[in-house]
Amino acid sequence: METAYQLIARHEFRGSPYHYVPTEGVAITFIVLFGISTIIHLGQGIYYRMWWLLPTVCLCGFLEVLGWSARLWSSFNPTLSSPFEMQITCTILGPTPFLAANFVAFGIIIQRLGTQYSRLSPKWYTILFCTCDVISLVVQAVGGGKAAVASGNGLDPTPGGNIMLGGIAFQLRQLMKFFCQ
Where along the chain do its domains lie?
Answer: 1-93, 98-181
Burial readout 144-155 (b: 16 or more C-beta within 10 A, e: otherwise):
bebbbebbeeee
Q: How many residues does the chain have?
A: 181
The pLDDT score that the predictor gives to residue 131 is: 93
Q: Are 16 and 78 in contact (CB under 8 A)?
A: yes
- The pLDDT mean for the chain works out to 88
Low-confidence ranges of the chain (pLDDT < 70): 1-14
- pTM higher than the cut 0.85: no
The span from the CA of 60 to the CA of 140, in Å, is 16
Strand, helix or coil for residue 57 = helix
pLDDT, residue 4, reads: 59
Whole-number Å distance between alpha carbons of 95 and 85 = 17
Cβ proximity of 63 and 92 under 8 Å: no
Q: Which of 103, 30, 26 is nearest to 63 (CA)?
A: 30
Residue 42 near residue 58, CB atoms below 8 Å: yes
